Amino acid sequence: MTRNIALGFLLLAGALLAAPRAKADGIFTATLLGSNEVPSNASTASGFITVTLTGDSLFVDETFSG
């Protein structure tokens, strides 16, 4: 019984060490409008944002008016 538990822990540790790291790269975009707010408002301002995540770097590009 003890041997089976030890073997189970050994297999689990090997699987965790061999698993590839999660990659969180991505591009996220949003349109910025008063009507998208919670609660929505009557703002005439607008904008657009792009957020890019690459490795351990975060890039933000935003344009807006009003």
Q: pLDDT by residue (tens digit) across 32-42?
A: 999 988 999 99
C-beta neighbour count of 46 within 10 angstroms: 15
- First-residue to last-residue Cα distance in the chain: 71
pLDDT of residue 33: 94
pLDDT, mean of residues 34-55: 92
Mean pLDDT of 35-64: 92
Q: Distance of CA 2 to CAs 5, 6, 14, 25, Å?
A: 5, 6, 18, 42
Q: Say if residue 19's pLDDT is above 60.
A: no
pTM score above 0.75: no
Instruction: Kindly tell me if the per-residue pLDDT of 47 is higher than 90.
Output: yes
